[in-house]
Structure 1
Amino acid sequence: MFNPFAEIADDSDDVELVEQARAGSRDALEKLILRHQAWIYNIAVRMVFQPQDAEEVTQEVLIKAVTRLSTFQGNSQFRTWLYRITANHVLNMKRRGGEVRPQTFSSYAAAINDTPDLDLPDPRSVPVDVPLLVEEAKIACTTGMLLCLDREQRLIFTLGEILGVSDTVGSEILEISADNFRQRLTRARRDLYRFMHNQCGLVNTSNPCRCPRKTKGFIQDGHVDPDHLLFASQHLLRIQEAAADTIREIEDLLDRQHAAIFRDHPFLQPANHALWLRRILDRPEIRAALQLT
Structure 2
Amino acid sequence: MHNPFTEVADDDSEDADLVCQANNGDRTSLEKLILRHQAWIYNIAVRMVFTPQDAEEVTQEVLLKVVTRLSTFCGDSSFRTWLYRITANHVLNMKRRGGETTSLTFSTYADAINSTPDLDLPDPKNVPVEVPLLIEEAKFACTMGMLLCLDRRQRLIFTLGEIIGASDTVGSEVMEMTADNFRQCLARARRELYQFMNHQCGLVNASNPCRCPKKTKGFIEAGHVDPRNLLFAARHVQRIQEAAASTAREIDDVADRSFAAIFRDHPFLEPTKQAGWLRHLLDLPEVRETLKLN
Same topology, TM > 0.5: yes
Q: Secondary structure at the match of 2:252?
A: coil
Q: Give the paired residue count.
A: 293
Is the CA contact (8 Å cut-off) linking 1:3 and 1:243 kept in structure 2? yes
CA distance in 1, matches of 2:62, 2:51: 17
CA distance in 2, matches of 1:59, 1:247: 28
Q: Who is 1:30 aligned against?
A: 31
- Equivalent AA in structure 2 for residue 89 of structure 1: H
Q: Secondary structure at the match of 1:213?
A: helix
CA distance in 1, matches of 2:192, 2:182: 16
- Equivalent AA in structure 2 for residue 286 of structure 1: V
Q: Who is 2:129 aligned against?
A: 128
Q: Who is 1:56 aligned against?
A: 57
Q: Secondary structure at the match of 1:196?
A: helix
- Equivalent AA in structure 2 for residue 5 of structure 1: F
Q: Does residue 7 of structure 1 match 2:35?
A: no
- Equivalent AA in structure 2 for residue 261 of structure 1: I
Is the CA contact (8 Å cut-off) linking 2:164 and 2:248 kept in structure 1? no
CA distance in 1, matches of 2:8, 2:264: 21
Per-residue CA deviations over 1:209-264 (Å, capped at 9, x if unaligned) read: 00000000100011000001000000000000000111521111111000000000
Spell out the pairing of 1:188-203 with structure 2 (5 A cutoff): 188-203=189-204
Q: Who is 2:274 aligned against?
A: 273
Tell me the CA shift for residue 292 of structure 1: 1.0
Q: Who is 1:152 aligned against?
A: 153
Q: Who is 1:110 aligned against?
A: 111
Per-residue CA deviations over 1:143-200 (Å, capped at 9, x if unaligned) read: 0000000000000000000000000001111111000000000000011110000000
Q: Who is 1:287 aligned against?
A: 288
- Equivalent AA in structure 2 for residue 168 of structure 1: T
Identity value in percent = 75
Per-residue CA deviations over 1:37-62 (Å, capped at 9, x if unaligned) read: 00000000000000000000001011
CA distance in 1, matches of 2:254, 2:290: 50
Q: Secondary structure at the match of 2:230?
A: coil
Tell me the CA shift for residue 278 of structure 1: 1.6
Spell out the pairing of 1:66-215 with structure 2 (5 A cutoff): 66-215=67-216
- Runs (4+) off by over 4 Å: none
Q: Give 5+ residue unaligned stretches, structure 1.
A: none
CA distance in 2, matches of 1:247, 1:38: 18
Q: Who is 2:19 aligned against?
A: 18
- Equivalent AA in structure 1 for residue 289 of structure 2: A
Is the CA contact (8 Å cut-off) linking 1:134 and 1:211 kept in structure 2? yes
- Equivalent AA in structure 2 for residue 270 of structure 1: P
Q: Who is 2:47 aligned against?
A: 46
- TM-score normalized with structure 1 length: 0.99
Q: Who is 1:262 aligned against?
A: 263
Q: Secondary structure at the match of 2:246?
A: coil
Per-residue CA deviations over 1:50-97 (Å, capped at 9, x if unaligned) read: 000000000101110110011101111100000000000000000000
Q: Secondary structure at the match of 1:245?
A: helix
Is the CA contact (8 Å cut-off) linking 2:141 and 2:232 kept in structure 1? yes
Q: Secondary structure at the match of 1:265?
A: coil
Compute the RMSD of aligned alpha carbons. Answer: 0.7
Spell out the pairing of 1:224-243 with structure 2 (5 A cutoff): 224-243=225-244
Q: Does residue 220 of structure 1 match 2:240?
A: no
Per-residue CA deviations over 1:97-126 (Å, capped at 9, x if unaligned) read: 000011000000000001010000000101
- Equivalent AA in structure 1 for residue 40 of structure 2: W
CA distance in 2, matches of 1:188, 1:88: 19
- Equivalent AA in structure 2 for residue 93 of structure 1: M
CA distance in 1, matches of 2:213, 2:248: 33
Is the CA contact (8 Å cut-off) linking 2:238 and 2:267 kept in structure 1? yes
CA distance in 2, matches of 1:197, 1:157: 17
Is the CA contact (8 Å cut-off) linking 1:7 and 1:247 kept in structure 2? no
CA distance in 2, matches of 1:282, 1:213: 48
- Equivalent AA in structure 1 for residue 195 of structure 2: R
Is the CA contact (8 Å cut-off) linking 1:6 and 1:247 kept in structure 2? no
